[in-house]
Amino acid sequence: MKFRPAPWSRPCIWLLVLMLVVASLGTSAPAGAQNQSPSLAILGLSSKDGDDEAAAELTGALREEAAADSELTLSDSSALLSQLVVLNDCEIADATCRDGIARQLEVDELIYGAIRRTEGGHAVELHRYSTVDGSLSHASRELTIEGASEAELASDARGLLRELRPSDTSEQPEPEPAAELTRERRPVLEPEPQKPEPQDEPSSNDWLGYSLLGVAAVSAGLVVFSWNEIDAARNDADFRAYREAVGRASNGKDVDDVCAEADAGEAYGLGARLKDVRSACGRGVTFEILQWVFIGTGVVSAGLGVYFLLDDDGEPDAASASLLPVIGKDHAGLQLRIRL
């Protein structure tokens, strides 16, 4: 008798169950990733008076403090505001311009602004824009940048970032900038009230991951079903009687394949039951092949499902996978097609 369940079939039940449990636990990673703070880019500040060095010092301090803030996810972009508005041929006061720059830098929020020299130092005006809800917060201060120590500049940068936090700006009135700064910067930096624009949902391959885990779960059930069918064929009353008859006729010699004897038409005194014996053999051989197909399908589907659930950066239509069993009279296998 050649058909039989996989030799490790009993432990494999628990192995498949454990594999699916681990796969389901692995899906918690993307959920945590979705709860992280929005990504932020700090654009290089501009200067009306040509104080590019002072603007660069304050920009660097702002980026260092933002990078050290656990509540912020800072982009590594070092782009300048003046370069981006020229490159995109737009005014930063327009929401469409800000959204376009944010998409270009692949961030959710922007901090941008300008400095202007005053008698006491520099007047600084900053803005923080969120593409998620269209909110815009402001901060303005007069600072001493030239000659200031690193600690003093870092302290000023922390204060500006705190003032720009949306939770803080909801409780504080918008600061009134100096008259000259308002007159010079308003055409560029002061936006007119705009309605928040709807944003596209972040792309994900989660649907593919969950689908593949579903395939793995179904495959596990089919594996168990195959084992039950193999046992039923092996314990079929007609097949057992035929096997015993073959054993008696062979005088104690081992017969490698009882089903081959039945296919050859050897009745061994059970001619009336030979048809039922062949049916049991056919059922057992079929499910012996299918058990390996289902096991392979479950393992591959579970692995790919976890991969697509943990990889949350793909486009919904950018990846696809198909896994189909291929079964012939004397062979079986899996056909896997993946497009990334």
DSSP secondary structure of 30-59: HHHHHTSPPEEEEPBPEETTS-HHHHHHHH
Beta pairing class for 122-130 and 109-117: antiparallel
Predicted local distance difference test score (pLDDT) of residue 327: 61
Instruction: Say if residues 112 and 126 touch (Cβ distance below 8 Å).
Output: yes
* Burial degree of 312 (CB within 10 A; 0-12, 13-18, 19+): middle
The Cα-based distances of 178 to 89, 140, 186, 220, 260 in angstroms read: 28, 9, 11, 71, 98
Q: Of 12, 14, 21, nearest to 291 (Cα)?
A: 12
DSSP 101-154: HHHHHT-SEEEEEEEEE-SSSEEEEEEEEETTT--EEEEEEEE--TT--HHHHH
Domain residue ranges in the chain? 9-31+203-339, 36-189
Tell me how far apart the alpha carbons of residues 9 and 7 are, in angstroms, rounded to a whole number: 6
Predicted local distance difference test score (pLDDT) of residue 288: 84
Instruction: Say if residues 62 and 160 touch (Cβ distance below 8 Å).
Output: yes
Predicted local distance difference test score (pLDDT) of residue 330: 58
Predicted local distance difference test score (pLDDT) of residue 112: 92
* Burial degree of 232 (CB within 10 A; 0-12, 13-18, 19+): middle
Beta bridge partners of 322: 337
**Residue 92: strand, helix, or coil:** coil
Per the document, the length of the chain is: 340
Q: Top-level CATH class of 36-189?
A: alpha beta
Assigned token pair, 307: 């991969």
Predicted local distance difference test score (pLDDT) of residue 187: 45
Q: Of 332, 310, 315, 331, nearest to 212 (Cα)?
A: 310
3-state helix, strand, coil in the chain (%, to 5): 55, 15, 30
Predicted local distance difference test score (pLDDT) of residue 326: 61
Query: Does the global pTM surpass 0.85?
Result: no
Q: Within 10 A of 158 (CB to CB), how many other CB atoms are there?
A: 17
User: Helices H, strands E: what count in the chain?
Assistant: 12, 8
**Residue 295: strand, helix, or coil:** helix
CA 79 to chain centre: 28
Instruction: Say if residues 242 and 268 touch (Cβ distance below 8 Å).
Output: yes
Assigned token pair, 122: 């520099």
* pLDDT, tens digit, 9 for 90 and up, residues 32-59: 444 467 888 999 888 877 788 888 888 9
Tell me how far apart the alpha carbons of residues 163 and 159 are, in angstroms, rounded to a whole number: 6
CA 141 to chain centre: 41
The low-confidence residues of the chain, meaning pLDDT below 50, are: 25-35, 168-174, 176-189, 202, 315-318
Beta pairing class for 39-42 and 73-74: parallel
